[in-house]
Amino acid sequence: MSSINYSEKIPNNVNLSEDRTLQRALEQWQPNYLQWWGDMGPDGSQNFDVYLRTAVSVDPQGWAQFGHVKMPDYRWGIFLNPGEADRKIHFGDHKGEAAWQDVPGEHRANLRRIIVTQGDTEPASVEQQRHLGLTCPSQYDLRNLFQVNVEEGRHLWAMVYLLHKYFGRDGREEAEALLERRSGNEDNPRILQAFNEKTPDWLSFFMFTYFTDRDGKFQLCALAESSFDPLARTTKFMLTEEAHHMFVGESGVGRVISRTCAAMNELKTDNVNKLRAAGVIDLATIQRYINFHFSVTIDLFGADQSSNAAAFYSSGLKGRYEEGKRTDDHVLKGNTYKILDVVNGQLVEKDVPMLNALNEVLRDDYIKDSVGGVDRWNRLIEKAGIPFKLTVPHKAFHRSIGTLAGVKVAPDGRVVSEQEWNAKVDEWLPSSADRAYVASLMGRVVEPGKFANWIAPPVMGINRQPVDFDYVRFN
């Protein structure tokens, strides 16, 4: 079950050929997907041979095989982690009952919505990143971008499989609509706002893969607990792909920081203008990018109080992060949780029923996890002997969803007046001048082993290949 059949038109480990109707439906969707990839996938890249990894099995040891592939020929398919015999529902009102192998009628609409919302983010990020290849800082980075892109495409396949297999005609229509919405399109945008923002430059890309792909990790972890077993098994395999995306982000930002620190030491300066004249990205600008991407991403977890979140949990559709490792009753009926409220212009904590606060619970778990990489970035700065510390902003900063939407809060958590906000916003979020400066650095570096001036080379290559390996052949 765990090894993947590549001899079929759609690679899979779900015995697709045994279900002719499903196979035919997916084979009809496949050319539309390829058409979408041609229209909205990486710009001008169709003919490149890219050193990509492809899943060969879902075993942790051997899932990846590396080789040069043209992206339109990438073997997108359907890979589920093996099922657990007699898996039981382990949270919510159905705790202890057998996990569902099919969709219970009463949860159909909610499950479909969850799967569509997750599925929509996958092609959206490919669309957001489609022009970045034109300004890559190296072949190594270009290859990593393309790897992330093909795997987001694969994640779309993962969700479309569920829609086709379990949701009949509605599911097939949703699968078509996933190829029709477009990131940032006024008439037919992607569902979640962060996926309609631009990813205009590589610093944004690294921030996006660090912060926003990590949101993906947390959503997938919560769905990997689902009572709907096919969803749990699908998302578990997606998580193994997601880990690489976050690596690209963390190491990418780290390499930008390393290069900046080296320039600061060479020039013995922390003067922004001098550093910019030297063509590197000052740490204060990196901080503002962190502030932006962190705040936009934590909005993705939704309102701090949500009856939908409670219903999704109690009905067993979506668990908490690491549900299985927690020691409470996994029903949470009498429990409370602290969320933030604004009273007389001050942020105060208040207790609310935990079931209604599960978006906030997931957001707080996410925040703890995302701070880890920022600490590792700080170690690079410390090692360079530079007295500067990056932080994530307060969770009330720059929010547009839930109780905190529209409240003006500084990155340090002080509630500020409109006036102070307007006076300081360019110190807190990337200004148009910052963005223009970062954009001005984006050239195209593609000679093997060469790197743009604003970023340090990686410590090692991909799959133990040298850093100057030909990761992309341009033909």
Tell me the window of 37-45, 91-99, 209-217, 279-287 that interacts with Fe ion (CB under 5 A): 209-217
In the complex with Fe ion, the residue whose CB is nearer, 123 or 402, is 123
Q: What one-letter code names the amino acid at 203?
A: L
Residue 245 engages Fe ion in binding (rule: CB under 5 A): yes
User: In angstroms, what CA-CA distances link 328 with 92, 195, 199, 360, 452?
Assistant: 12, 34, 40, 17, 51
Binding to Fe ion (CB under 5 A) within 224-243 occurs at 242
Nearer of residues 179 and 381 to Fe ion, judged by Cβ: 179
Q: Which is nearer to Fe ion, 244 or 408 (CB)?
A: 244
Q: Is 127 in the site for Fe ion (CB under 5 A)?
A: no
Nearest to 453 by CA among 236, 273, 256, 313: 256
CA atoms in the 13 A half-sphere facing the CB of 327: 0
**Complex with Fe ion: residue 155 or 394, whichever CB lies closer:** 155
Segment near Fe ion (CB under 5 A), from 22-30, 205-213, 223-231, 356-364? 205-213
* Binding of Fe ion by 213 (CB under 5 A): yes
Q: How far is the CB of 245 from Fe ion (least distance, A)?
A: 4
At which residue do the structure tokens 């590589």 appear? 202
CB 357 within 8 A of CB 339: yes
Q: Which two tokens stand for residue 357?
A: 């606060």
Contact call for residue 120 and Fe ion (CB under 5 A): no
Give min distance, CB of 192 to Fe ion, in A.
Answer: 13
Binding marks (x or -) toward Fe ion, 259..278, rule CB under 5 A? --------------------
Q: Given the complex with Fe ion, which of 133 and 216 has the nearer CB atom?
A: 216
Residues 111 and 103: beta-carbon distance below 8 Å: yes
Binding piece for Fe ion, criterion CB under 5 A, among 68-76, 215-223, 298-306, 369-377: 215-223
List binders of Fe ion among 132-171 (CB under 5 A): 152, 155
Residues that bind Fe ion (rule: CB under 5 A) add up to a total of: 7
Q: Helix (H, G, I), strand (E, B), or coil: what is residue 40?
A: helix
Distance CA 240, CA 79 (A): 11
| Shortest Cβ 346–Fe ion spacing (Å) | 38
Q: Which residues contact 364 (CB under 8 A, 6 or more apart)?
A: 395
Q: Is 434 in the site for Fe ion (CB under 5 A)?
A: no
When the beta carbons of 174 and 304 are compared against Fe ion, the nearer one is: 174
**CA 245 vs CA 84, 217, 261: distances in Å:** 27, 10, 24
Note whether 17 and 23 are within 8 A (CB).
yes
In angstroms, the Cα distances linking 360 to 310, 318, 405 are 11, 14, 14
HSE, side-chain direction, 13 A CA sphere, residue 164: 23
Secondary structure (3-state) at 152: helix
CB of residue 219 to Fe ion, shortest distance in Å: 9
174 vs 242, which CB is nearer to Fe ion? 242
**How near is the Cβ of 191 to Fe ion at its closest, in Å?**
14
Site string for Fe ion, 359-398 (x = CB under 5 A): ----------------------------------------
The amino acid at 124: A
Give burial (CB, 10 Å; 0-12/13-18/19+) of 44.
exposed
Nearer to Fe ion, 242 or 360 (CB): 242
Q: Which is nearer to Fe ion, 126 or 136 (CB)?
A: 126
Single-letter amino acid code for the residue at 432: S
Q: Specify the stretch interacting with Fe ion by CB under 5 A; choose among 30-38, 63-71, 114-122, 399-407.
A: 114-122
Which stretches of the chain bind Fe ion, using CB under 5 A? 122, 152, 155, 213, 216, 242, 245
